[in-house]
Amino acid sequence: MGRSGTSHGKPGGTQEDDGARDSFALAVSSAERGVVVVDREGRLQFMSPRAERMLGLDWQRHRGAPLGEACEHPACGQDVVHHWKAAVDGGGSVVYQVDHAREGAHYRCVVEASALLGLGVRDPLVVLDMEQYPLDEAGRPVDRRLAFEGLLSSIALRLLRAPGTALDDAIDETLHAIGRFMGADRAYLFRLSGDGEWLTNTHEWCAAGVSPQMHRAQHVPARPFLWHLRQLERFGFVLVPCTDALPDSASALREELKVQGIRSMINVALQVSGRCAGFVGFDAVRTMAEWGEPDLALLRSASVMIGHAMERRRIEDELRASQAGLRRAQQIAGIGTWRWDRSTGQVRCSGMCARICGAHDPVCTPRACWERLHPEDRAAVRRALGRVLRSGDVLDVECRVCDGAGGWRAIRILADMERRTDGRVRAIIGVVQDVTEQHRARSELAHLADHDPLTGLPNRRLFERRLREAVADARRRGARLGVLFVDLDDFKRVNDRLGHHKGDSVLQIAANRLRGQVRRCDLVARRGGDEFTVLICDVGARGELATIACSLGRALAEPLDMEGETLRMGASIGIAVWPEDAEAAALLETRADQAMYQAKGDGGGRYRFCSPT
């Protein structure tokens, strides 16, 4: 006889397996993104509703079938299955993209294949996170802002998940993705030596038919390019719309660009360990490029992410230093050692371990250690420790510990058992690593995926998610809410007259003024360019929204001093009210956008409701 229970899942599975799979299936079915889950052989397991629409597939009917055979979409064809297997074999993620046509329209589908281990099931799964957007006849995204946000999110995930040993490949993939998005002919990364004397081209991507140039820039003197480096240090970027227009002070740069056949160039400073460590750049060779503020914002965000990833690899490289430098490496990485003697019940910590955990005495009891853990993390640590004592596996768990100054520090605990000759446990020995900075870096990367890098405001993706949540909440409570679409008047004139760096300052001032006019429960987001959206929750009469619009307009219209020159900003504001003007969140934004154009058509500097009062 077998076990008394039965399993209705995969043959040979357990009830725990089925429970874990059912929970995961529920999470996938409620996902707002295009999510597909297959096993390591490519057989379909789960699929989100959006993925069904994207792929044109009824997943319940094809569940268990090879996805490459059941689906005609090229993102799931036999040609890409090797990406899924690579994700499983590498225990990480692989990003790829395919272009395809359907019913006369052209699309680009970007897929991140991630290995999913654990979940209480024995066999690994592969999660395909898909984002698809339409292309114009030239192969460029039709909705550039949506494509921009999707690309930024995928870059953040790629660099965040890449181990140090695979970072170079992740950077190459990032340059490739951004280069194609921007229509560039060449993308590259230059590193500046620590003494600032030498430049080296370490990564390069070239479009088809464009000659590589990386071999020309290996350990070249930086002095002839001081104009370029000073521009990076002063402004954080260098934008060259036309090589011939470079000043005489940049003659060395101008001649080098001409030798390489470069017509336009855009570079962004690369910050590593708090200093300018080089730059990320893109060239146009075949034609001059009209790159602007959205392209610059994308490069800035990517440069920040690459800098964080390089800093993480630097730390990992130091941790792999020789045994002679172990003590120094432990101090740099924040690693301390400890030993729990089971016979005496005492825990002895190294000086570094005590400092990390905020302990004054290097000798303490297990209970004292337990009380220093964050209350929300104790159950997870208890379960992990129980598994170690039962199975003899190595303990590896992350949690938070009191730092002794009223705050919390993120730590990683690794431990193994020291046994007697009879097999009984004599002691548990291990290390504690301070991973607070790594957690902060991950949080910053996650923040970048949902926020505008220039103003710090939520971006379009986050605004639309919060709006959907606000509509659902308002529907449950019978409340009302409003969406205001704000567009600065004559902002292009500011950019043309003062330059993009002054225009960036104006956008930052506008963002701060808008944020200062709303409540904490409301939301201000930058939609892109000089457009902003504002979500106002729990609205009373429509007149309340009119009052808010007037306040926003007055705040934006206040004069501002730009290095001795006085500027005035006006704004056209469109207002839509839920549920009167639209039931769906996306349609509510559209109604506010239409009302904004009506306000602009009436002369600007005013607000309009999308429907009569």
Do 167-319 and 15-138 have the same topology in CATH?
yes
Question: What pLDDT score was predicted for residue 6?
Answer: 35
Question: What pLDDT score was predicted for residue 474?
Answer: 92
Confidence of residue 323 (pLDDT cuts 50, 70, 90): very low
- Which one of 15-19, 226-230, 498-502 scores highest in mean pLDDT? 226-230
CA–CA dist 478, 497 (Å, integer)? 49
Residue 17 reports pLDDT greater than 60: no
| Comparison of pLDDT for 90 and 208, the residue scoring more | 208
3-state secondary structure 292-341: CHHHHHHHHHHHHHHHHHHHHHHHHHHHCCCHHHHHHHHHHHCEEEEEEE
| Comparison of pLDDT for 535 and 322, the residue scoring more | 535
User: What's the Rg (C-alpha) of the chain?
Assistant: 28
Q: For the chain, what's the residue count?
A: 613
531-536 and 570-578 strand pairing: unpaired
CA–CA dist 482, 576 (Å, integer)? 6
The dihedral region occupied by 45, where left means phi > 0, alpha psi between -120 and 50, and beta the remainder, is alpha
Question: What pLDDT score was predicted for residue 318?
Answer: 67
Q: Is the dihedral of CA 128, 132, 138, 143 positive or negative?
A: negative
The dihedral region occupied by 139, where left means phi > 0, alpha psi between -120 and 50, and beta the remainder, is left
Return the C-alpha torsion angle 52, 58, 59, 60, nearest 10.
140
Cα 604-594-139 angle, rounded to 5 deg? 110
Q: What percent of the chain has pLDDT over 90?
A: 19
Bridge partners of 89?
Answer: none
Question: What pLDDT score was predicted for residue 599?
Answer: 92
Q: What are the structural domain ranges in the chain? A: 15-138, 167-319, 325-435, 455-609
Confidence of residue 11 (pLDDT cuts 50, 70, 90): very low
Question: What pLDDT score was predicted for residue 540?
Answer: 85
Tokens of 391: 């199975």
| Cβ partners under 8 Å of residue 168, min gap 6 | 202, 203
Do 530 and 556 touch, CB atoms closer than 8 A?
Answer: no
3-state secondary structure 466-530: HHHHHHHHHHHHCCCEEEEEEEEECHHHHHHHHCHHHHHHHHHHHHHHHHCCCCCCCEEEEEECC
Average pLDDT along the chain: 82
Confidence of residue 388 (pLDDT cuts 50, 70, 90): confident
Question: What pLDDT score was predicted for residue 591?
Answer: 93
Question: What pLDDT score was predicted for residue 19?
Answer: 53
220-221 and 105-116 strand pairing: unpaired
Return the C-alpha torsion angle 158, 162, 167, 170, nearest 10.
-30
Residue 339 reports pLDDT greater than 50: yes
Q: Which helix (H) or strand (E) holds 570?
A: strand 570-578
Q: Give tens-digit pLDDT for 230-283.
A: 888 888 888 888 988 888 888 888 898 988 889 899 999 988 877 888 999 999
- Span 325-435: which CATH code? 3.30.450.20
Question: What pLDDT score was predicted for residue 218?
Answer: 92
Q: Is the dihedral of CA 455, 458, 460, 461 positive or negative?
A: positive
Helix (H, G, I), strand (E, B) or coil at 82: helix
Q: Is the dihedral of CA 192, 193, 196, 201 positive or negative?
A: negative
CA–CA dist 591, 481 (Å, integer)? 14
Each as own residue / partner, the long-range contacts of residues 534-538 (CB below 8 Å, 24 or more positions apart, any chain) are 534/483, 534/484, 534/486, 535/463, 535/466, 535/467, 535/470, 535/481, 535/482, 535/483, 536/481, 536/482, 536/483, 536/484, 537/470, 537/474, 537/479, 537/481, 538/479, 538/480, 538/481
Tell me whether the omega of the peptide bond preceding residue 11 falls within 30 degrees of 0, making it cis: no
Each as own residue / partner, the long-range contacts of residues 512-519 (CB below 8 Å, 24 or more positions apart, any chain) are 513/552, 513/555, 513/556, 513/558, 514/486, 514/552, 514/555, 514/556, 515/457, 516/555, 517/548, 517/551, 517/552, 517/555, 518/548
The phi and psi torsions of 302 (rounded to 5 degrees) equal: -65, -40
Q: DSSP code of 572?
A: E
When pLDDT is averaged across residues 454-473 and rounded to a whole number, the result is 91
When pLDDT is averaged across residues 144-173 and rounded to a whole number, the result is 74
Q: Give tens-digit pLDDT for 364-373.
A: 888 888 888 8
Which CATH superfamily, name and number, covers 167-319? Answer: GAF domain (3.30.450.40)
Nearest to 100 by CA among 146, 133, 129, 69: 133
- The correct CATH number of 15-138 out of 2.60.120.480, 3.30.1600.10, 1.10.357.10, 3.30.450.20 is 3.30.450.20
Lowest-pLDDT choice from 90-104, 456-470, 567-581: 90-104
When pLDDT is averaged across residues 281-296 and rounded to a whole number, the result is 84
Question: What pLDDT score was predicted for residue 491?
Answer: 85
The phi and psi torsions of 529 (rounded to 5 degrees) equal: 60, -125
Do 282 and 266 touch, CB atoms closer than 8 A?
Answer: yes
- The correct CATH number of 455-609 out of 3.40.50.1110, 3.40.50.300, 3.30.70.270, 3.60.110.10 is 3.30.70.270
570-578 and 607-609 strand pairing: parallel
The phi and psi torsions of 558 (rounded to 5 degrees) equal: -65, 135
CA–CA dist 348, 334 (Å, integer)? 17
Q: Give tens-digit pLDDT for 44-70.
A: 888 888 888 888 888 888 888 888 888
Please state at what angle helix 500-515 crosses helix 542-557, rounded to 10 degrees.
Answer: 140
The phi and psi torsions of 284 (rounded to 5 degrees) equal: -115, 125
| Cβ partners under 8 Å of residue 274, min gap 6 | none
CA–CA dist 547, 535 (Å, integer)? 14
When pLDDT is averaged across residues 385-389 and rounded to a whole number, the result is 79
Please state at what angle helix 585-601 crosses helix 460-477, rounded to 10 degrees.
Answer: 110
Question: What pLDDT score was predicted for residue 23?
Answer: 58
Bridge partners of 488?
Answer: 571
Residue 14 reports pLDDT greater than 60: no
186-192 and 531-536 strand pairing: unpaired
Lowest-pLDDT choice from 183-187, 322-326, 339-343: 322-326
Bridge partners of 127?
Answer: 37, 114
Burial of 245 (0-12, 13-18, 19+ CB in 10 A): exposed
Do 177 and 282 touch, CB atoms closer than 8 A?
Answer: no
3-state secondary structure 168-189: HHHHHHHHHHHHHHHCCCEEEE
Q: Give tens-digit pLDDT for 498-548.
A: 777 788 888 999 999 999 999 989 999 998 888 999 999 999 888 899 999
- How many of the other CB atoms lie within 10 Å of CB of 276? 16
Q: Give tens-digit pLDDT for 597-611.
A: 999 999 888 999 987
The Cα diameter of the chain in Å comes to 89
